[in-house]
Amino acid sequence: MKRLENKVAIVTGGARDLGRAVSVKLASEGAKVVVNYFDNEDDAKVTRDMIKEAGSECIIVQGDMTKAADVKRIVDESVKAFGNDIHVLVNVVGGIVGRKKITEQDEAWYNFLMDVNMKSCWLCTREVVPHMPKGSSIINFSSLAARDGGGPGASMYATAKGAVAVFTRSMAKELGPDGIRVNALAPGTIATSFHDRFNTPENRERMKGIYPLRREGDAGDVADLVCFLACDESDYITGTNIDINGGIFFS
């Protein structure tokens, strides 16, 4: 028996990079996966094909996870395809978007960073929880930036991810009596297109020499941890923000 046999998982931002690795990993353990994507249907189709190759079922659903109507539609499509129960929610959606000093930031910048990182997590949790039976699991994506304040120009990203970490603890307390566990990851540098866009090759090489493990993480490292938190092996773990950063920062 696979560890997530007959379970249903929604992965927001599940079409590429970390979201794709998570979606395929959950599918490899038997989960039926709802892959949300924002604007790249081709990426989502590739992920769907990979899930089918892993021997599981998948639907892909476009949606902006900062919009309540889109979030509701994701859940409605999951119910239509796989039934009323949703056992796993992975809130991957988020991002640094860009780098700005405090004097360069305006209200639109603040609102966008908070919306894409925190509001998306809140909306999805609010919509999915009524469908979660006892034993379900929510996994949120915080960041190393929430631990150390982030790099230059990333203050609002770090702040929003810090809010995700606190929200995780709050939901663990609120939903624990219903048998729903809520945890978060705080990834460091993971080799994805995120760091291709918002980091420099020189800085990434420099940082490798600082990490105790002397390497960046890869998407599979993160997907394995998500899968563990989704499965029964972690059924006494809730309210945590787990560092996965090669030892660069200890909480």
Pairwise CA distance, residues 222 & 214, whole Å: 17
Are 185 and 178 in contact by the 8 Å Cβ rule? The answer is no
The dihedral of CA 3, 243, 12, 201: what is its sign?
Answer: negative
Q: φ and ψ at 176, to 5 degrees?
A: -55, -45
Q: How far apart are CA 108 and CA 179, in angstroms?
A: 38
211 classed as catalytic: no
Q: Check residue 214 and give left, alpha or beta (phi > 0: left; psi -120 to 50: alpha).
A: left
Catalytic residue among 37, 110, 157, 236, which?
A: 157
Q: In terms of DSSP H, where are the helices of 16-84?
A: 17-28, 41-53, 68-82
Q: Which residue matches tokens 């009323």?
A: 84
Could you give the residue numbers annotated as active site?
Answer: 157
